[in-house]
């Protein structure tokens, strides 16, 4: 699993979307199956704009089959969404064993 932080250096929305695309390409090139994307949880500092734009882009990538699936860190509760994500995310395990509102996991 590769981890990329796309919000900690005061990135703009466009910067974050560029970094998202770059992270996906890099992870696929390295044959990583899971990308852990740190977006922040959106409560202050403009990260809500980044998180919203990134989620919209990720949904577009999923519809276009560029990614297999994604799950918000806050949805890792071993419920239905998590079980569905695991079907696409072979080899995924949440190292932290807890929810993280500022993270999005992407199955490639």
Residue 104 is predicted with a pLDDT of 93
Going by DSSP bridges, is the β-strand pair 2-5/69-72 parallel, antiparallel, or unpaired?
A: unpaired
Number of C-beta neighbours around residue 99 at 10 A: 14
Q: Looking at the domain 2-107, which fold is it?
A: Ribosomal Protein S8; Chain: A, domain 1 (3.30.1370)
Residue 43 is predicted with a pLDDT of 64
Residue 28 is predicted with a pLDDT of 93
The whole-chain average pLDDT of the chain stands at 86
Per-residue pLDDT of 15-62, as tens digits, reads 999 999 999 999 999 998 899 999 987 666 556 888 999 999 999 999
User: What are the residue boundaries of the structural domains of the chain, listed by start?
Assistant: 2-107
DSSP symbol at 43: S
E strands within the chain? 2-5, 34-38, 69-72, 103-107
Residue 103 is predicted with a pLDDT of 92
Structure tokens at 29: 């090139």
């Amino acid at each position: 699993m590769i981890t990329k932080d796309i919000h900690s250096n005061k990135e703009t929305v466009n910067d974050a979307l560029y970094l998202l695309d770059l992270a996906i390409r890099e992870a696929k090139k390295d044959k990583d199956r899971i990308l852990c994307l740190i977006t922040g949880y959106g409560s202050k500092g403009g990260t809500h704009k980044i998180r919203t734009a990134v989620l919209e882009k990720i949904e577009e990538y999923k519809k276009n089959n560029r990614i297999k699936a994604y799950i918000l860190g806050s949805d890792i509760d071993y419920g239905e969404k998590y079980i569905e994500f695991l079907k696409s995310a072979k080899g995924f395990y949440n190292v932290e064993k807890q929810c993280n509102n500022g993270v999005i996991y992407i199955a490639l």
